[in-house]
Amino acid sequence: MFAWLVGSDSRPPVFLKFRSSTTFIILTVATAVFTDIFVYGIIVPVLPFALTERSNIKPDSIQTWISIFLAVYGAALLVASPFCGWLADRSSSRRAPLLIGLLALGACTVMLCIGNSIAVLAAGRVLQGFSAAVVWVVGLALMVDTVGPEGIGQVMGYIGLSMSLAILLAPLLGGVVFAAAGYYAVFAMAFGLIVLDIILRLFMIEKKVAVRWLPDQVVHVPNVGTKKEDPVDPEDGRTSTTDLEMRAISPAQDAEKTGQDDIKQTNSEVTTTPLVRGKWTSRLPAVVTLLASRRLLSALWACLMQASLLTAFDAILPLFVRDTFGWNSTGAGLVFLPLVLASFFGPIVGWASDKIGPRWLATTGFVLSCPFLILLRLVERDTLQQKVLLCALLALVGVGLTLVLIPMMAEITYAVDAKAQRHPPGFFGRNGAYAQAYSLFNMAWAGGCMVGPLLAGLVNQKAGWGPTTLILGVVSIVTAIPVAVWTGGSIWKKRRTDRENVNLGTPE
């Protein structure tokens, strides 16, 4: 009945080339990320109304319950992320977990829409955290499967762009629509976006599935291990593109193409590599092995700090512009525009990361953010010049944070590849450990989203705006140190290798 959609042995799915194209897969994952963050953010303006009018919570308890719901969401995200990563790396398809996550997103949106009790609203937030874990963990792993490590930086730029658009538009549209059309109109927008997301995820076909009908389809093979003769990039530990790709050959072509034993042998090695289980370390979960990588830990720490610096403004910026400039909620929302504006250049930053590596881009981002974070203390009067200064400083901080996030998201892929090259083929399983690595990224990001507002809010309450921005600047410059040392592999090892190559007369 649905052979036209999913295909059969004798008939490929309709629009197969388009549905399995890199562009369509990137569009699908970017839409999934946008939908997840949009549904999360669009509820923020209506949550106080839902608590007071529908759940009969006293006004003086609203702030407490909102904080509880934020914590519930964060806890669900932290708990679900490693499980989703483990499951995705053992699943034969990335699309199936994505569809499960979409069901969770639809269910949580229904619960938040019709819920009239604390229990229902809290359950909805838990499902929302689970859905976010699936989207980020499985979606980013699917990106690596689609473009391979060599092109992951630019793709992460597009993902960062969709994330920033959702962060910018969701609260703004949520507040405007709620004021103009009411409670249910806000959720109507969310349901419309979810329907679009359903269509895209159902129509998407992974490249490793499409190769069944498209023999010439290029498939990127997870770097699950390496041999001694594999060429390795001395800068970041990545193998060359030719070692991470194969041109899949159908059984029919194998039978026809006699005399191509070498090609068939190579294809057989890639697809039927036995899983190696030797040392006791091979029995450890992949997450434990990954966490033994100082390079990956540095990337996760950088992601946690970047999220902390970005979300710290959620707790202090609206209150600052209200008290200093007398701005209302609309102005407090629009003041975030300069901060996220630089993320529109995310694809360019990602492209640069693919070309020159992530080390100095991310280091420059943290170093650049430091002085502009500290200079925010100069904004203290209600004048036009001070408002312009605030927006300019926020824009420059946004540039620095964008230079950090996109390369660090790509660095996680590079670090997993480098770790895999130190182990026998099959050590991380047939799908590699990309999903589990991005589950760690998800946990680091969630941790930063909790630490940032809490730290900035407490310091601002006790010491004021100036000391708060000073601390944020110090955090930024201190984080630049491990990023410069460990991103792309130990800088000391690289310099030692470069000196040895020079002494031996080998070109770097």
Q: List pLDDT tens digits, range 400-447.
A: 999 998 899 889 888 888 887 777 666 666 666 788 888 888 888 888
Backbone angles phi, psi at 422, to 5 degrees: -90, 0
- Distance, in Å, from the CA atom of 206 to the CA atom of 94, rounded to the nearest integer, reads 8
Distance of CA 372 to the CA centre of its chain: 25
| Contact between 100 and 45 (Cβ < 8 Å) | no
Give the Å distances, CA to CA, from 459 to 2, 154, 450, 453: 58, 37, 15, 10
The pair of structure tokens assigned to 158 is 């597009």
| Whole-structure pTM value | 0.74
Q: List pLDDT tens digits, range 330-364.
A: 677 788 888 888 888 888 998 998 888 899 999 99
The DSSP line for 81-110 is HHHHHHHHHHSS-SHHHHHHHHHHHHHHHH
- Distance, in Å, from the CA atom of 126 to the CA atom of 75, rounded to the nearest integer, reads 8
Encode the chain (508 residues) as per-residue pLDDT tens digits. Answer: 466 666 666 777 888 888 888 899 999 999 999 998 898 888 877 777 778 888 788 877 776 787 677 778 878 888 888 888 888 877 777 888 888 888 899 999 999 888 888 888 889 988 988 898 888 888 888 888 888 877 888 888 898 889 888 877 887 788 788 878 888 898 999 999 999 998 998 888 888 888 878 766 666 555 545 444 344 444 444 444 334 333 333 433 443 443 444 433 434 333 434 444 445 455 566 777 788 888 999 999 999 999 889 888 877 888 888 889 988 766 777 888 888 888 888 889 989 988 888 999 999 999 999 999 999 999 989 999 999 999 999 999 999 999 998 899 889 888 888 887 777 666 666 666 788 888 888 888 888 877 888 888 888 888 889 999 999 999 999 999 999 999 988 888 877 777 777 776 655 4
| Residues in the chain, overall count | 508
Contacts of 166 by beta carbon, 8 Å cutoff, 6+ apart: 33, 34, 35, 36, 37, 38, 41
Identity at 426, one-letter amino acid code: G
- Distance, in Å, from the CA atom of 287 to the CA atom of 302, rounded to the nearest integer, reads 18
In 3-state terms, what secondary structure has residue 387?
A: helix
Backbone angles phi, psi at 326, to 5 degrees: 70, 25
Q: List pLDDT tens digits, range 309-318.
A: 988 887 788 8
Which one, of 205, 203, 136, lies nearest residue 434 by Cα?
Answer: 136
- Distance, in Å, from the CA atom of 491 to the CA atom of 193, rounded to the nearest integer, reads 45
